[in-house]
Amino acid sequence: MTDKHSASRARALAAELRDLRRQAKLNTREAAKRIGVSSASLNRSELGTRMPPPEEVSALMAIYGVTGLAKERVLALARSANPTGWWEIGNNALPRQLPTLITFESQATWITHFEPLFVPGLLQTHAYTRAVMEASGVPEADTEPRVAARAGRQTGLTRKNPPRYTAIIDEAALRRPFGGRAVMAAQIRRIIELAELPNVTVQVIPFERGGYPLYGPFLLLQFAKALDIVHLEHKQASGFLDDPDDTTPFQQLADTLKAVALGPADTSEFLAAVAADYDRK
């Protein structure tokens, strides 16, 4: 892959091409022969080290039998060649990137999520997720599919060979009662339960710690054999950073936040106290 292409976009396209070829029950040699390229080139495309031209991807879609919206989604990845990163703008920015985010989460060996405003998505109960979406104005017809998608992502924490997952949460996210006191009490206890998993670490930054570097939420994804990726999300924008010059500051920030936060044992005690506060009428 040349430097002009986005690494995150190439890796997303690679995963799509590999999965679609397997669904078509073709090996790389057969697929490459049908469209007139070398199997080495197709292998590199499926590894994310080569960004195939849109015409080649279109030909692959034809032999794989992919049509409609699925085809357009894959072609959109091939048509864009940002210098670094991958940004989507507009009301549907995150939904457009969600399949790729799910893929990256499934491939990561270590996930670090900092959240100053909400309980991190991989730790949310269904009731809390619904409450957040309702407060955020998500259309009712879209709520249950999104809840189901988030529930599917959460299974990654308990799969065989799961990633190491670290959640760093500001106390403010725990004190804002989305869904009411009962929903929050159940949510806090769910966090305590998940924190007992051997691959999950939860650290809370309490108000009493005072000020600290606060730059908004971020998701840092680290891989065994690939460069780190950072995912950022806002109301009208969702994006992946993949250049080391852009992702390294987030690694450093994560280390700073972990040092400011309570340790895992003290966090569990803190969470139990917050849950007890919600239980009081």
Strand, coil or helix: 202: strand
pTM higher than 0.85 for the full model?
A: no
181 band by pLDDT with thresholds 50, 70 and 90? very high
Mean pLDDT on 95-114: 87
CB 234, CB 182: distance < 8 Å? no
| pLDDT value at 5 more than 50 | no
Q: Can you give the pLDDT at residue 99?
A: 80
Q: Can you give the pLDDT at residue 281?
A: 63
| pLDDT value at 188 more than 60 | yes
Q: Can you give the pLDDT at residue 3?
A: 40
* CA-wise closest residue to 82 among 9, 27, 136, 11: 9
| pLDDT value at 80 more than 80 | no
Mean pLDDT on 70-91: 71
Show the domains of the chain with their CATH numbers. Answer: 7-79 (1.10.260.40), 86-279 (3.30.870)
Q: Which two tokens stand for residue 32?
A: 């490459």
Report the range of poorest mean pLDDT among 9-13, 68-72, 82-86, 260-264. 82-86
Q: Can you give the pLDDT at residue 92?
A: 61
Output 226 or 95, whichever has higher pLDDT: 226
| Residues 215-236 pLDDT 10s | 899 999 999 888 899 999 887 6
Q: Can you give the pLDDT at residue 130?
A: 95
Report the range of poorest mean pLDDT among 87-91, 113-117, 196-200. 87-91
Q: Which residues contact 42 (CB under 8 A, 6 or more apart)?
A: 17, 28, 31, 32, 52
* Torsion of Cα atoms, 230 then 233 then 234 then 239, to 10°: 70
